[in-house]
Amino acid sequence: MTDNNQEHQDKVVTGSADASPATSQEQQAAPASGKEKTSSSARGLAIVAIILALVLTAGLYWHGHNQAVAQAGQLERLQAELAQQQNALQAATAAQDARLTSLTSNQASTAEQLDGLSRKVLDLDSKRPNDWMLAEAEYLVRMAGRKLWLEQDVVAAAMMLANADERLAALNDPTLIPIRQALAEDIAGIKSVQRVDREGLVIKLNNINDQVDRLKLAGVIMARAEEPDFTLSESIGDWRDNLKKSWASFTDDFVTVRRRDGNVEALLSPQQHWYLSENLKGKLLQAQLAVYREQQEVYDSALAQAEQWLQDYFADDSVRQFMLEQIAQLEGQRIDVDYPEQFTAQDRLQQLLDDRLQRLLTGL
């Protein structure tokens, strides 16, 4: 029994001894296979990394190449535009230089012409030193026309024409005799113009206007009563009329009856009196304004209306009588004047100056 147990134990030990080498071999084989798997995955990752690096490098290269190409094209365009602008600038500079050269030459020639003209003008001035007096005479004639037609100053216009004739006389030029004759005709025409004492007329109208406030309104004016006729007829056939007249003559000492036919004007109120006075003053002021404007119709109408109002509405006293007398004197005045339309000497003087200027320019 004991021997059997011993053998069984030996078999077990022997089996255990045989099993242990096998187990150790399996344990050695397992790490070897793990290492192989790790090395293969590392190779795969390396390959993938290399491929990604190559793709990324190729993409970066392609992108950089495209940018370089675009920049090169843009640079070429900029260089072309710069060259075009430089060409245009050079052309403009050349044109400006040519223009400046032309202007310089023109200025030089103009300066030479001005110098020549100045010398010729000086020569002409030395030959005809009195031509300025002719221009002064023409200016005086023009100013005389302005004085006459704009200001209606006949005296000043005549004096200016006389001064112009003195300038022409001082020239001692026989060719100016026709112009001096025309000037004499113009002076005679001005002196023949009727002179109107406008200031005197206005002063008289102003004095009449000052008397308006002193006027008194007229009272009620009754119509004149008819006086009875008591003359007896010598005819016997008129005995009835003679009897009536005798009876009327007898009763006239007791009762008197008078018949008055006609319109009786009502008295004006104080307000109407004030309006009437102001309207009368307005008519007189209108007449004064018409004197300065030479409006004959307005002047006559204003005086006639003022005279009518004085006769109709104001009392017959010394003030009204004075105003009516003054208005009657003013009504016969002529305030409009027929002035000559133009001076005959003015056109001749202007023509003479134009001819001499034309000859001067032609000689230059």
By the 10 Å C-beta count (0-12 exposed, 13-18 middle, 19+ buried), 168 is classed as: buried
Tokens representing 95? 């044109």
Q: What is the pLDDT, as a whole number, of residue 117?
A: 75
Q: Are residues 204 and 332 in the same domain?
A: yes
| Mean pLDDT, rounded, for 258-278 | 68
How far apart, in whole angstroms, are the C-alpha atoms of residue 1 and residue 84?
124
Whether residue 204 is predicted with pLDDT greater than 70 in this model: the reply is yes
In this predicted structure, what is the pLDDT of residue 22?
42
Q: Looking at the structure, tell me whether residues 211 and 291 fall in a common domain.
A: yes
Lowest mean pLDDT of 72-76, 214-218, 255-259, 353-357, name the range: 255-259
Looking at the predicted structure, is the pLDDT value of residue 31 above 60?
no
Per the structure, the count of domains in the chain is 3
Residues 275 and 332 in one domain: yes
Count Cβ atoms below 10 Å from residue 198 Cβ, excluding itself.
15
pLDDT at 305: 92
Contact 346, 142 (CB under 8 A): yes
For residue 138, pLDDT beyond 80: yes
- Does residue 308 sit in the same domain as residue 328? yes
The average pLDDT across 288-293 equals 89
The lowest-confidence range among 10-24, 30-44, 318-332 is: 10-24
What is the pTM assigned to this prediction? 0.44
Which of 123-127, 285-289, 336-340: highest mean pLDDT? 285-289
pLDDT category at 268 given cuts 50, 70, 90 is low
State mean pLDDT over 151-176: 87
The pLDDT assigned to 30 comes to 47
Q: What percent of the chain has pLDDT over 70?
A: 73
Q: Residue 248 is part of which domain span?
A: 222-264
What local confidence, expressed as pLDDT, does residue 279 receive? 92
Last residue of a domain, one of 264, 294, 323: 264
Secondary structure of 227-280 as H, E, C letters? CCCCCCCCCHHHHHHHHHHHHHHHHCCCCCCCCCCCCCCCCCCHHHHHHHHHHH
Q: Which is nearest to 198 in space by CA: 294, 338, 286, 285?
A: 294
Per the model's pLDDT, the better-predicted residue between 220 and 139 turns out to be 139
256 and 156 in one domain? no
